[in-house]
Structure 1
Amino acid sequence: MAWYSAGTVSVTNGSATVTGSGTAWVANAQASEGIWLPDGRLYEIVSINSDTSLTISPNYLGTTQSGQVYRIVPVKGYPLLAAQQMAALISTVQGYVDGALSGRFGNGTVGAPGISFASNTAMGLYRVAANQLGFVTNGVRRVLLSTTEMRVDLPVTGSAVTSDDLDTTSGKLLRTGSGGVATATTMPPPGDDMNNFATSGFMQFTSDDINTPFPLGAGVNLMRFGLLTGQVAVERTNSALPKLAFRGSWDGVTFSDWMTAITDQDVQATPADTTADKLMRVGAFGLGTDAVWDYLVIADDGFGEFTPPRAGGLVSIMSFPVKGSGFPTLSESGVFLMDAGATNGIITLHAGANLDTDVAGGGSATGTSGSDGNLTIFLPQNGNLQIENRSGSSRAIRIGWL
């Protein structure tokens, strides 16, 4: 039996009345039959009021519309259950149309993503919070995408990441260790040669490598414009003060010699430090400053005692009327080779007329032992140098010992 559908219908949301136009329902429809209306639902015809009016149940659930198609479903005599099941199925399909089939899904959870797969329900996508999308595998969120960040909670690999420590492909993500960064084992020089670096990065070198400043060490290679290069290296040593070296190149091929930075360990610890190979500082052994080997200020008929840095040496003695005056009194000044040790001795290279020496027997100065009007040098065999002043007034004596 064909489904009657002549004409059109007008329906109103919440109303039980259906109005027809061009319809002949008295002859072609009966109560208890079904009518398929514009909202896609099947309704029961309660009564036929006229050719253009009928009453339905329940009241119309869809939106108000006019001039719409319809179908009279001749269910009379069919099992009522079949009609009810059909209506339920239609409602279910409508739910999918309003949801997943229209691109809208439930929020889901990390354990049951809103979008997943039949064969792997623990993998998919879910809504973490407003404007936050979670990517899940094996029931664990691996990526969180929001309007402010993309948080990745697993290692990133593939062609978007540097393939090795020397990969310089533009646009790639640096992996740990690229260019010797963020790793305890930095990269060795390419080809075991410090001249072969073609990229900026950190490095380590050993005695097996060439063009290095030290047998063992680590450093950094910095490049600009692919040519201008600077290298800085630090010595690997048990010393608390390892050496630092640096060099450069204008073309990345020809390098300057390594230059080693001077540190405190390379310089005298004190002005009297005699350690071999140490650099002399200003004031060493009285050179270059008035502050070192300061003046002995000796009153008339008194003496002063000086402890030299070592037993023997080249000694200059300069006498000044007062400390800090511009020019020494030449008649009371001189230059000597001295041994102030147990076997004391002195060789006079030059001495002014009023500068005497008295080293025989290792006697000590008393203030009045030497000649009146003169200065006298004594070596008392205790490792020190004594100068006695009998010039008639106070003297400032400056001693340089090399």
Structure 2
Amino acid sequence: MGWYRAGTVAVTNGSTAVIGTGTAFIANARVGDGFRGPDGAWYEINNIASDTALSIATNYLGPSLGSGIYAVMPVQGYNKDSADQLRAATKVIATIPETKQDKNNNLTALSSLVGAADRLPYFTGAGALSLAVITNKARALLARSDIAGMQAELALVPATSLTDRTAGRLLIPGWLGLGDALPITPGQDYNTLTQPGEYFYGSGTAPTNAPIVPAHLISVKGRGLYPYQEVRPIYGNALWQRSAKVANPTAAAADWNGWVPYVTGFNMTNDPQSDAGGVISSAVVSGFRVEKFANGTMCVTGKVALASQAANSFGYQTLTLPVTFLNTANMMPGLTCNAQSTGDSYGVVFQRAASTSSILYAVRNGATAQAFEINVSVRGTWK
């Protein structure tokens, strides 16, 4: 390694300071190297402060000089190039962050994989990785940043309406009543409602060919060729069902079976006249037993007392019923009587419906004045 002589130096008698001009001491001098001053004497370098400042171990002996020639001679007994490289490497190592990842099993497993096109590393366990195939389609999907783009990449198109049944479409909230029943069209003819789904009628123009008028849900089930329908009221526990008689039924009444109510523990005893879906009801009203049936039949039974009637008399009486029948034409009274004393009587000799809520009848007594008990039985319809 040659001596270093670039630039000039300023020295002061009795001082250890050496100030350089145009010098590069850091890269070209080492502590312990020899410094030959402008006075020709040799001194030991004991500190290098910068490229333009160093100090010598003993005071400068020569006269003070503002600009003089000098020389630095390596005397350390080592290869200066190697030392410079080691120092440079040391500086680099010193700049490495303390947070640099240490060696671990995961990194070791990753480094053991042999990379290839269209491969993606994945963990198979702790400290164990393998490669999976990632296709162009998968990369394109991962590149999408929004839901609509991902759906388009997968050719998944949302249904365009609540009744869109195009193959491959994504379902949307409310589709065919999914999660929320579809409102039916005002005046909907249920004979033409064959699209499977859940529907709702609340108010407005009532549907036609429906088993009830109050607000209700209607479910259309089965395959489109052979649908069947179920109707239940919003407020109540009744249920009606009917099915198509033919494939692809039309609005024609002949294409459909009639509505049939389900008999359940809820509607078995509900009043069919006042409670939609009721099948059979029986109640005591003003002392009479009133029974109603879903087919419209109504029966009234009971007993009334007839005050003492003169011997051999014949008198008309009016019996007021606790309910009203649909009409008098279908009312069939069946009154009988029990004589309370001798039993000598001709019984009820006349009876007819005087109105939809009363019966006109006559009892003919025998030879003894006595009271009577009238056995009431009236059959008719409420609808």
TM range (shorter): 0.3 to 0.5
TM-score, with length taken from structure 2: 0.37
TM-score, with normalisation over the residues of structure 1? 0.36
Higher alpha-carbon Rg: 2
